[in-house]
Amino acid sequence: AQKVTQAQTEISVVEKEDVTLDCVYETRDTTYYLFWYKQPPSGELVFLIRRNSFDEQNEISGRYSWNFQKSTSSFNFTITASQVVDSAVYFCALSESLNDYKLSFGAGTTVTVRA
Amino acid sequence: GAGVSQTPSNKVTEKGKYVELRCDPISGHTALYWYRQSLGQGPEFLIYFQGTGAADDSGLPNDRFFAVRPEGSVSTLKIQRTERGDSAVYLCASSLMRISSYEQYFGPGTRLTVT
C-alpha cells in the first residue's frame, strides 16, 4: 500500500511565484516521522526537513515553509518567491516507529521555475 | 567534509552479468542504507546495515541481490544474473545512528543500465 502520496507530478511556475507541494501520508502508528528531500538535476538527494508526529507546529526556514496537519494526514511544503535554483524533484517521505530508519518515499513532484 | 560517495557513477552491463556497486559512507556513520530509484519514482528501500550486519534486508527484491559491509564502513551491493528490470539508480545513504533523529545523507547514486 502506498504510504506517501504526492498527487502533483509536475508544477511549472514563473520566478517569484509561490508554489505549494502536497503530501498526504498513511500510517497506523502514533509515532512517525515525515521528511522532505530535494533532488536537483545532479541527482543527489538533499535533506530539507524532518518532523515527528508529536510536533504539529508549522515551520519556516527562509523561503521554505511546511504545514503539518495530522487531522488530514498532510505535510505540505511551500516555496515562497520561487527562484530558478529551486527547480528540482521534491520528495516527501515517511518513516514509522517500528522501523524508523526505513524511509518510504512518495513518487515526487517535479518543480520547474522559469525565469 | 566528504559526503557519501558511490562508484561507479554509471554502469552498463549485459543481461545475465554480475555487477558490484560500491558505497563509501561518511566517516563515523554507523548506519548505512541502500535504496533503488526507478525512473519517475521515489527511492525504494533495499537494505539497512548497522555496523557490519544487515539489520533489515526486507527490501531486496530477490536472492540475486546481496550486500555486504565487512568492516562496518564501505558497503558493496552485488547483483547476480542481472535482468533488464534491474536498470535503475542505486542510492546509498548513511547516518550517524539508526534512529530517525539522525538525518540520512545520500550519495549521488550509481546509474545501472542492463542491456
One-letter amino acid at A61 equals S
Give the nearest chain B residue to A108 (CA atoms).
Answer: B42
Under 8 Å between Cβ of B94 and B29: yes
Q: Which pLDDT score is estimated for A64?
A: 95
B110 CB burial (10 A radius; 0-12, 13-18, 19+): buried
Q: Which pLDDT score is estimated for A2?
A: 62
Q: Return d(Cα A8, Cα A18) in angstroms, integer.
A: 15
Q: Return d(Cα B7, Cα B74) in angstroms, integer.
A: 11
Q: Which pLDDT score is estimated for B1?
A: 57
The residue with cell 545520500 is B106
- State which residues of chain A have pLDDT below 50: none
Tens digits of residue pLDDT in B66-96: 999 999 899 999 999 999 999 999 999 999 8
B44 in contact with A, Cβ within 8 Å:
yes
pLDDT above 70 covers a percentage of chain A that reads 98
Rounded to a whole number, what is the distance in angstroms from the first to the last CA of chain B?
37
Tens digits of residue pLDDT in B20-67: 999 999 998 999 999 999 999 999 999 999 988 888 999 999 999 999
Give the nearest chain B residue to A51 (CA atoms).
Answer: B101
For testing contact with chain B, the best of A8, A47, A92, A101 (most B CBs within 10 A)? A101
Q: Report the relative pairing of strands B31-37 and B44-50 from DSSP bridges.
A: antiparallel
User: DSSP code of A11?
Assistant: E
Under 8 Å between Cβ of B75 and B66: no
A28 CB burial (10 A radius; 0-12, 13-18, 19+): exposed
The residue with cell 511556475 is A13
User: DSSP code of A100?
Assistant: T
B56 in contact with A, Cβ within 8 Å:
yes
Q: What is the mean pLDDT of residues B6-22?
A: 97
* B97, pLDDT greater than 90: no
Secondary structure (3-state) at A87:
coil
Task: Please confirm whether the linkage preceding B8 is cis (ω < 30° from 0).
Answer: yes
Q: Return d(Cα B97, Cα B47) in angstroms, integer.
A: 15
For testing contact with chain A, the best of B5, B100, B105 (most A CBs within 10 A)? B100
Return the closest-CA partner of residue A35 out of A12, A25, A44: A25
Q: Which pLDDT score is estimated for B96?
A: 87
